[in-house]
Chains A and B, each alone.
Chain A
Amino acid sequence: MRYLPHTDEDIASMLRVVGADTLDDLFSTIPDDCRRPRDLDIPSALTEWELNDLMDALSNSVAAPPEYKLFLGAGRYDHFIPASLTHLLGRSEFVTPYTPYQPEMSQGTLQAIYEYQTLAARLLGMETSNASLYDGASALAEALLMAIRITRRKKVAVSSLIHPYYRRVVQTYLEPTGLKMVELPYLENGRTDLSRLDRIDDLAAVAVQSPNFFGCIEDLAAVGEKSREKDCLFVSSFTEPLAYGLLKNPGSQGADIACGEGQSLGIPKWFGGPGLGMFASKMKYVRSIPGRLVGKSTDKDGKNGFVLTLATREQHIRREKATSNICTNNSLCALAAAMYMASLGGTGIRELAKLNHDKSEYLKQALEEAGFKITFKSPTFNEFVVESPPNFETTYERLLEKKIVAGLPLTPYYPELTGKYLMCVTETKTKEEMDELVEELRN
């Protein structure tokens, strides 16, 4: 086996050193009743060339761009990734180390993650960011748990326009310890109904997502004001961080914690994972933050460098009183996001965000002109909800055959929105493709 370097001679000589006759003898401490009665019943080993065929066949049976045109977002976005990023990210020196426990031989990862923390904090308008969490959903759950720890209250209010899957993950995290999540309904304009908050007391946090699941941009300043009124934390969630190239960031609107999914920043869709849990907060809460943090320090000669820091919050030291149980995070994905933000630059992210917005507006208008109704009137970024004519399901199926995915049917997530579709347009869609979509829909 090519991954195993031992020759029979190596094995024999090493066995002699350890005083065993056979490899099986090394397992003498394992009681008989714990041993496998027979060999593993899994397919026999494949050569690299056989494996190539198998993996090609599996991957070819998935509908993916560029062959398929996906007008589909809902938490996973189709964005271009520069070849330089893929190349750099593939470097063994980034891919094959582990968590930088030994700073002296991990300065590359440490500086890169420090830079990620800085860029993420700047993008979100926050004072500090951690080194990453698993994904947007667990980041939201961790943010709410953090707010619960800080305020010592047991209830959180969560907008019903936060990604439905995120809310389900939050539910999973809160339920066993008796913590409560109250959902805020939405208004006709596609934004969260904050008036419901007037009737809820003892809140640890209010959480909204912007742009929300319908693509609408929330009035974050109003949420900030409301949360100050309720004396609770304002958690601003997101699934599309590229929006903050154009929109006011959560920090400027008073968010205490900004958290969400960073997949848009240079990470492939990968059927939903791995992505990047982004997590940023005000500096005053830094000792309550979950996850790893990289900080600046000096070596014994006074030279600048970086280390993992504030480990006393973490599980291996603080045990059951830790701010989180996370150990392995999504470091390489954070690095991808840093490279992506560095490649775009301030000028580039502005233009790319505008392009997403403008293209999405183009399709929105074209659909309206073709007689489709746009369900919610609030401004949107790169997603919006459109109403389909009767019997649209057959059109949707016909388009699939033409390798066009015409949005996401909302019925499974919002049963009251039968016949409404969530459309997404990113920079990857050309005007011709949008025109084709409208033409097909018209037919």
Chain B
Amino acid sequence: MAESLGTTGLILNEPLLWEKGKKGRSAFSLPRRDVESTPLDEELTGDGPDFPDLSEIDVVRHYTRLSQWNFCVDAGMYPLGSCTMKYNPKINEKYAALKGFAGAHPMLPPALSQGTLRLMFEMERLLAEITGMDAVTLQPAAGAQGELAGMLLIHAYQQSKDMDRSKIIVPDTAHGTNPASAALCGYRPVPVKSNQNGILSLEAVYEVMDEDTAGIMITNPNTLGLFEENIKAITELVHSKGGQVYCDGANMNAIMGMVHMGQTGIDVLHLNLHKTFSAPHGGGGPGSGPVCVRRHLEPFLPVPRIIEENGNFTFSEDFSDSIGKLHAFYGNFGVIIKAYSYIRAMGPQGLKKASQLAVLNANYVMEQLKGVFHLPYEKPCMHECVFSDKFQRAGKVTTLDMAKRLMDFGFHPPTIYFPLIVDGAIMIEPTETESREEIDLFIEACKTVADEAEKDPDLIRNSPQKCKVKRMDETAAARRPCLAG
């Protein structure tokens, strides 16, 4: 193998914030005091928080050093399955910081907020077209809140039809957040197994779908990276029993410009702007989880809705069937800007190409690693492929060990141990923004790791070797939680 991408260099130790600083330092240019001090009732005043006093250079060095302990998309390939860690275009950051956007106050009269309203209105239309759905809300703050919104919409719709149902079907190939989102809405998740080809069969849904079941939460493409080929028949079946179909669209990156989600028969779909539409993941958010619906669910969408009147945009609360509000204001506008910019920069051909290349990259990885790792479902995949550690387990090397070893080669590990239906799962999503050369290096690293698993298992079990810390003890952390200093 050519020289590994992963190497070691000088990083610096850095203590905790409060172990630094000296009383009287400041990193903040306090505004001039141009008014007298007015006393406040002593009953109400406290001592103020015990924060360290730091100078600007203290703060800058602190966070610069910390940042250098992180791996990120801008540094290298981050094939975390299900998370779509694609490149985050830099121009989008500039737009989100524009004074008119960053400084926009949500309580201003609409006449003074036309630019923000227009952008959101247009974004709704763009997402409706991309998904093939009829109406969109941008309010949910992330995917899981989008799922909750979807459940609430189905609940409200069925209540309006005097249907009171207690269960919801959740296949074993659905996203991990689905059952918790359903439970928040009072539904009891009913598990259903995918078939030997990794997709849902009509028969399996038929077995569990009854008049007490509100519907199904289906992830398509699913968490095995496979398109649910029976989707249309399944939606027809669920509808025939009065149910609704919720589609988790977190994997939309595989099918833009290719699949018409509305036509698959689903009723509600959420998107993750921080996955499919290139907004950065921020070390765990903020995200944005718009929800797209078919016409019959539109009256139930969260308020306020943005409406257009003679070329002017305004908010309307005039939707009496609405599920209400989900966000303090209108959603994560700062994230929506970035996704809007991405869609406008890509255009229809660009989006389609992105999906095609995401699928090409995933199939390429699958083809090259077939035989290196065990591939439980051998068929063309969409945007991600799922392997397992079955071949390596004999030598007592696990998915976790191999994931940690991949770090030494300069790659973020894939998603591991998910989906649960694959024992020791290794879920790889390269995304379209990785070049062939980069992917070849990744494949090479995976092959080396598999080879080492056979020849030098201890090396793997003692990895990572090149990170700031060795393997962390997560069990001890949970046993005696220390969450603040």
CB contacts (< 8 Å) of B351 on chain A: these are 40, 42
> Does B329 count as interface, using CB distance less than 8 angstroms?
yes
Stretch at the interface among A133-141, A150-158, A194-202, A223-231: A133-141
Q: Is the CB of A352 within 8 A of B46?
A: no
Separation of A362 and B341 alpha carbons in the complex (Å): 43
A191 to chain B, nearest CB (A): 12
Q: Does the CB pair B229–A108 fall under 8 Å?
A: no
Interface size class on chain A is 35 or more
Point out which of A57, A103, A312 has the most chain B C-beta atoms below 10 A from its C-beta.
Answer: A103
A329 CB contacts on chain B under 8 angstroms: 142, 284-286
B433 contacts A5, C-beta separation under 8 Å: yes
Mark the stretch among A77-85, A182-190, A367-375, A383-391 that contacts chain B: A77-85
B296, CB-defined interface residue at 8 Å: no
Residue B35 at the chain A interface, CB threshold 8 Å: yes
Select from chain A the residue with minimum beta-carbon distance to B26.
A348
Please report the C-alpha to C-alpha distance between residue A351 and residue B49 in the assembled complex, in whole angstroms: 12
Beyond known contacts A322-B179, A324-B180: 12 more, CB 8 A cutoff? A40-B129, A43-B347, A58-B119, A61-B100, A95-B280, A98-B80, A271-B101, A300-B470, A308-B474, A347-B24, A349-B49, A431-B34
- The answer for the CA separation of A353 and B33 in the assembled complex, in Å, is 12
A-B CB contacts (within 8 Å), total count: 700
**1/0 per residue B15-27: CB within 8 Å of A?**
0111001011111
Query: Do B328 and A327 touch across chains, with their CB atoms under 8 A apart?
Result: no
* CA gap between A361 and B485 in the complex, in Å: 36
**Considering the chains assembled together, what is the distance between the CA atoms of A427 and B28 in angstroms?**
13
Nearest Cβ in chain A — how far from B282, in angstroms? Answer: 3
Q: A342: which of B62, B107, B473 is its contact (CB, 8 Å)?
A: B62
Which single residue of chain B is at the shortest CB-CB distance from A287?
Answer: B481
Q: List 25 A-B contacts (CB under 8 A).
A: A3-B87, A26-B363, A27-B255, A29-B226, A34-B231, A35-B260, A36-B257, A41-B129, A45-B344, A45-B347, A55-B337, A58-B116, A64-B100, A78-B105, A88-B64, A97-B412, A119-B49, A127-B484, A136-B328, A138-B327, A270-B332, A320-B183, A348-B26, A405-B112, A431-B34
A107 near B118: Cβ-Cβ < 8 Å? no
Q: 7 smallest A-B Cβ distances: which pairs?
A: A272-B329, A45-B347, A59-B100, A332-B282, A64-B103, A272-B106, A331-B284
Is A18 a contact of B102 with CB atoms below 8 Å? Answer: no
B476 at interface by CB-CB < 8 Å: yes
Task: Tell me which residues across on chain B come within 8 A of A129, comparing CB atoms.
Answer: 483-484
| Contact, CB under 8 Å: B185 / A177 | yes
- Could you tell me how many residues of chain B have their Cβ less than 8 Å away from some Cβ of chain A? 203
Residue in contact with A1 in the complex, picked from B284, B324, B350, CB distance below 8 Å = B350
User: Which of B36-44, B238-246, B387-395, B447-455 interfaces with chain A?
Assistant: B36-44
**Which residue of A has the minimal Cβ distance to B141?**
A134
Q: Does A254 make an interface contact (CB < 8 A)?
A: no
- A106 contacts partner chain B, Cβ-Cβ < 8 Å: yes
CA distance A312 to B354 in the complex (A): 36
Q: At the interface, yes or no: A411 with Cβ under 8 Å from chain B?
A: no
- C-alpha spacing A286/B477, complex, angstroms: 13
B73 at the interface (CB under 8 A from A): yes
Partner of B74, one of A96, A118, A244, A361: A96
Given contact pairs A76-B329, A245-B49, A332-B282, A4 touches B354 in the complex (Cβ within 8 A) = yes
Could you mark each residue 234-270 of chain A with 1 if its beta carbon is under 8 Å from any beta carbon of chain B, else 0?
0000000000111111001000000001000000111
Task: A157 to B397: give the CA distance in the assembly, Å.
Answer: 54
The answer to whether the Cβ of B115 comes within 8 Å of any Cβ in the partner chain is yes
Complex Cα spacing A320 to B325, Å = 23
In the complex where A75-B328, A272-B327, A319-B180 touch, is A345 in contact with B95 (Cβ < 8 A)?
no
Q: Which of A68, A171, A339, A358 contacts B36 (CB 8 A)?
A: A358
Taken together as a complex, chains A and B put the C-alpha atoms of A93 and B349 apart, in Å, by 31
B83 close to A98 (CB less than 8 A) = yes
In the complex, the answer to whether B145 meets A60 with C-beta atoms within 8 Å is no
Partner of B353, one of A1, A56, A80, A345: A1
Residues of B within 8 A of A178 (CB): 186
Alpha-carbon separation in the docked complex, A274 to B359 (Å)? 31
* Residue contact A37 to B352, C-beta cutoff 8 Å: no
Question: Cβ of A319 and Cβ of B29 under 8 Å apart?
Answer: no
Whether the Cβ atoms of B353 and A94 lie closer than 8 Å is no
Asked if B72 lies at the interface with its beta carbon under 8 angstroms from chain A, I say: yes
Within 8 A of B (CB), among A108-122: 108-109, 111-115, 117-119, 121-122
Contact, CB under 8 Å: A348 / B30:
yes
Q: Are A247 and B119 in contact (CB under 8 A)?
A: no
Residue of A5, A24, A88, A117 touching B483 (CB-CB under 8 A)? A117
Closest residue of A by beta carbon distance from B368: A17
A104's contact among B59, B255, B335, B469, by CB below 8 Å, is which? B469
Q: Who on chain A is nearest to B37 by CB?
A: A358
Query: Would you call B229 and A96 a contact (CB within 8 A)?
Result: no
Within 8 Å CB of B129, what residues of A? 40-42
Whether B421 sits at the interface, judged by CB under 8 Å, is: no
- A272-B327, A327-B143, A346-B49 as given contacts; A297 in contact with B472, CB under 8 Å: yes
Residues of chain A with a CB closer than 8 A to B467's CB: 104-105, 107
- Taken together as a complex, chains A and B put the C-alpha atoms of A234 and B80 apart, in Å, by 40
